Amino acid sequence: MITVEKALESILKNRQDFGTEEIPFIESVGRVLKENIVADRDFPPFNRVSMDGICVNFNQFKKGQRSFVIEDVQPAGSAQKTLQNPKNCLEVMTGAVLPKNASAVIRYEDVTIKNGVATIEVDVIKNGQNIHNQGKDRSLGDILIRKNTLISTAEINVLATVGKFIVKVAKQPKVMIVSTGDELVEVDKIPLDYQIRRSNVYALVSLMNELKITVKTAHITDNKPVLKQKIKQFLLDFDVLLFSGAVSKGKYDFLPEVLEELGVEKQFHRVAQRPGKPFWFGRVSGTKTTVFAFPGNPISTYVNCLVYFYPWYFKSIEVEREQQTAMLIENVFFKPDLTYFLQVELSIKNGQLIATPIHGNGSGDLASLIKTDGFIQLPKGRNEFKKGEVFEVIRYRE
């Protein structure tokens, strides 16, 4: 049995490269950029009027001139005009190119217009005011978004602005999620007394969907030859296999031996943690299939996917994620010498993330997930965890 830290270390060493693909930029939120995004022009691309009003030659204002004949209008989206006579002005709109020979913009609020003449009603204006100068924000050729950025809604604006209609992102892994266990029936069926509905596999599907990974799913009965034959094919067709169940000490827990017989090299089996201890992790050397075989209790499957698969995925696509931490709001005592992933409700008070433990009835108590927002990770080697102490948290709900 290895520690959570060693397990994670082993998993991160086994990162995979899924390659890259090109997709429409508008579908790229949640995906990882695999190219630098470079400014195709200066930002802004021209001296841009940033207020609706008039533009003048600042020297005329400095000389004391306050009233200016309106020569013309410069709307946004029109070719640059010229202030023909420096003693005149042009009306200008936000987003327009600043007309030639103009050097300051005075907003309509500070001007009165009468009979084609604009009079400035403020005493002080600054040379260059209300002009967003060409290249002030970024220059042609500047890197705007770095490769390996996880694309959020904020990047969409920039991708559009530089014309990145199609964007290069990390390809997603091909993932197969397999449930085992003869007690399981489909969600739309009425279970017999001794049966339950298939649910872990759907929790895993939704956890994958959160990462924008689409998956296939399968169910295999607790029959060794069938298990072996199906997994053999899955190992050829998928980058990742996720299992739920059949990794513990039961008579029908064939999975570890089947995987090893099929050439999946075990990296470890069993981690010093609760819940989720009988986790088996392996990889086919030479090919690229990685196998996460999670224990079948619902909380075990769920927490292990978040604790192991998520970091493995982000490492694989080269994204760095900040580890969240939260403060325990009450003392916790936990006797076993295991890392304890304790379910917590998370709230924020004065900018401080607070973790309130919600004690469920063990790893089978799937309904307890509804009342919590994440797991606080209480390290192995201690039994007492004090109110006010800060630990890592794995959050699954905002």
Number of CB atoms found within 10 A of residue 379's CB: 14
Indicate the pairing of strand 184-185 with strand 196-197. Answer: parallel
Among the listed residues 8, 156, 284, 358, the single contact to its own copies using CB under 8 A: 156
* Chain-centroid distance, C-alpha 121: 50
Q: Which of 23, 26, 122, 226 binds its own copies (CB under 8 A)?
A: 26
Residue 366 backbone phi and psi in degrees, to 5: -65, -30
Residue for token digits 């827990």? 253
- Tell me the window of 114-122, 170-178, 265-273, 344-352 that interacts with its own copies (CB under 8 A): 344-352
SS3 164: coil
**Sign of CA pseudo-dihedral 92, 95, 101, 104:** positive
Q: Determine the interface stretch with its own copies among 4-12, 177-185, 226-234, 286-294 (rule: CB under 8 A).
A: 177-185
Cis status of the peptide bond prior to 298, with omega within 30 of 0: no
Of 88 and 372, nearer to its own copies (C-beta) is 372
Binding mask 103-132 for its own copies (x = CB under 8 A): ----xxx----------------------x
188-227 residues in contact with its own copies (CB under 8 A) are 188-200, 202-203, 205-207, 209-210, 222
- Return the residues of window 69-88 that contact its own copies according to CB under 8 A: 73, 75-80
* Residue 292 contacts its own copies per CB under 8 A: no
Q: Is 314 in the site for its own copies (CB under 8 A)?
A: no
Kindly tell me which of 69 and 165 has the beta carbon lying closer to its own copies.
165
Footprint of its own copies on 225-264 (CB under 8 A): 248-253
CB 292 within 8 A of CB 309: yes
C-beta separation of 311 from 12 below 8 A: yes
Query: Minimum distance between the CB of residue 270 and its own copies, rounded to whole angstroms?
Result: 11
Q: Binding to its own copies by residue 162, rule CB under 8 A?
A: yes
The residue from 9, 21, 182, 318 that contacts its own copies (CB under 8 A) is 182
Q: Least CB distance from residue 144 to its own copies, whole Å? A: 5
Distance (Å, whole) CA 339 – CA 152: 33
- Within the chain, residue ranges assigned H as helices are 4-13, 58-62, 153-161, 200-210, 224-237, 255-261, 298-304, 310-316
Binding to its own copies, residues 353-392 (CB under 8 A): 353-354, 360-362, 364-370, 372, 390
